[in-house]
Structure 1
Amino acid sequence: MPILSIVIPVKDEQDNVLPLLDEIHQAMRNQIDYEVVFVDDGSTDLTYARLAERRGVGDLRLCLIKNRQSLGQSTAIYLGVQAARGRLIATLDGDGQNDPADIHSLLALTTGYGSQEDFLIAGYRKHRRDSAWKKLQSLVANGIRTRLLGDNTPDTGCGLKLFPRHSFLKLPYFDHMHRFLPALFRRLGGDIQICVVNHRARLAGISKYNMLNRAWVGLIDMLGVMWLQRRNRLPKSATEVTVEKPII
């Protein structure tokens, strides 16, 4: 059984998935027991076919999930985590802009946590390889999110994150939840750590996101997360709960 499952949602990334997969294998080889879970979210190109061909020639670390129609990035991640076998989950974007070698930096910050503790290691793209307009959008969005949700995370949009599988499956599921993982983990009483990671230019294809398809739905979702925070009654830590188990 792998210790780490690397979950990657993809849609129409036929020219990026195999180079990314090769990079992952190169970065993780002889370092940790791992698997790679690609979730094809309704691609209309050869994304799934190329991954299936690689699996067919003997990539035994590769798990494939295919959605017949696009269900969104959050659902793709959720399905990938459900299918994953690793105790720890790392998520990556499928466009190759995240560096798989940075997973080791995130893993290094997990030492000291117990097997049942809840925590999130969030990547921070301090030096982003995006247009000035896209960086401005993210700066504004992160500022508003931090002010309203108090997640104190400088880059919630970074796809590179690491967390225990059992912690993620405790979270309330809803569409676009992946944008609010730090706030949801804090609501759970989990610990949050920030790790500066590399960011690279996209090799091929185009981004699926823009200001118009993110702003309005993002505001509605943020109000929903604020409602969840206000209704939270969970203890902040396990030490606040006393459990007396039966002797027999």
Structure 2
Amino acid sequence: MTYQFTIVVPVYNEEENLLRVEKELLAYTKIATKATKILFVNDGSKDKSQSIIETICNRNDMFSFIKFKENRGLSAAIKAGFDYTETELVGYIDSDLQTAPEDFNLLLKHIGENDLVTGVRANRKDSFVKNMSSKIANGIRRSFTHDGMDDTGCPLKVIKTDFAKRIPMFKGLHRFLPAMILLQNGKIKQVPVQHFPRVAGEAKFGVWNRLIGPLMDCFAYLWMKKKYINYQVSKQG
């Protein structure tokens, strides 16, 4: 089969969720509007995640994985997923499945005329503290980037792979993917998607890295924006 779309699934200590991830993503591949494969990126998990991932991949041809030697963080996992993607489109979803894989079809409807389409979590099912800290962090980030996005933390995105591979990653950059596409003179769009409470495992981000981390990352983004190199080749011989 010729695949058109790769879904990157970062994994860090998610043994309780992975069989559900397999079930949900396998079901999605049967209704996907693009021929879809799944790439697990094991970010140095210390539980049984790797053995479960290998079992899943051995019994499903459309599933594959890469494994880090040690934990490097969500941005590194996403970057590695982009680097190892060979299809024309790449997306990503968190392994906690607080967003629905079938909503990828909503994003794929708009990717033709855009270079990144991101979900916006409607009716978020998180705690009050988590919702408020994310809202504040999004406001801070938006004031720095002027990207017009309401929810860059939404773990449901589709990107044209050639744009994704040109994103220069640093820690925390997963919060700035729309802004990084704008730096490439690309087009971005946000689409409302479903959101669900976490049913297993533990959240990897707390109030500290939802507020202080994004603020520090904003200054890193401004530095990089000033130094960013963007070019287009008009002719080659």
TM range, smaller chain? over 0.9
Q: Which amino acid aligns with 1:147?
A: S
Is 1:49 paired with 2:60? no
* Contact 1:34–1:86 (Cα < 8 Å) also in 2: no
* Contact 2:5–2:90 (Cα < 8 Å) also in 1: yes
Name the residue aligned to 1:187. 183
What is the DSSP-based 3-state SS (H/G/I as helix, E as strand, rest coil) of the residue aligned with 2:142?
helix
Identity of aligned residues (%): 30
Name the residue aligned to 2:40. 38
Q: Which amino acid aligns with 1:159?
A: P
Task: Please report how far the alpha carbon of residue 244 of structure 1 lies from its aligned counterpart in structure 2 after TM superposition.
Answer: 4.1
* Alignment partners' CA distance in 1, 2:31 and 2:210: 39
Is 1:142 paired with 2:143? no
What is the DSSP-based 3-state SS (H/G/I as helix, E as strand, rest coil) of the residue aligned with 1:29?
helix
Task: Please report how far the alpha carbon of residue 53 of structure 1 lies from its aligned counterpart in structure 2 after TM superposition.
Answer: 1.2
* Alignment partners' CA distance in 2, 1:203 and 1:179: 24
* Contact 1:7–1:37 (Cα < 8 Å) also in 2: yes
* Alignment partners' CA distance in 2, 1:244 and 1:204: 53
* Alignment partners' CA distance in 2, 1:67 and 1:244: 39
Name the residue aligned to 1:128. 124
Larger radius of gyration: 1
What is the DSSP-based 3-state SS (H/G/I as helix, E as strand, rest coil) of the residue aligned with 1:6?
strand
Name the residue aligned to 2:95. 94
Task: Please report how far the alpha carbon of residue 14 of structure 1 lies from its aligned counterpart in structure 2 after TM superposition.
Answer: 0.7
What is the DSSP-based 3-state SS (H/G/I as helix, E as strand, rest coil) of the residue aligned with 1:89?
strand
Q: Which amino acid aligns with 1:103?
A: F
Q: 1:73 to 1:244 in 2, by over 3 A?
A: closer
Q: Which amino acid aligns with 1:189?
A: N
TM-score by length of structure 1 reads: 0.89
Name the residue aligned to 1:116. none
* Alignment partners' CA distance in 2, 1:17 and 1:197: 22
Is 1:177 paired with 2:177? no
Name the residue aligned to 2:74. 73
Q: 1:68 to 1:232 in 2, by over 3 A?
A: closer
Task: Please report how far the alpha carbon of residue 3 of structure 1 lies from its aligned counterpart in structure 2 after TM superposition.
Answer: 0.2
What are the within-5 Å matches in structure 2 for residues 206-217 of structure 1? 206-217=202-213
TM-score by length of structure 2 reads: 0.93
**Cα RMSD, aligned residues only:** 1.7
Name the residue aligned to 2:27. 26
Task: Please report how far the alpha carbon of residue 233 of structure 1 lies from its aligned counterpart in structure 2 after TM superposition.
Answer: 5.8
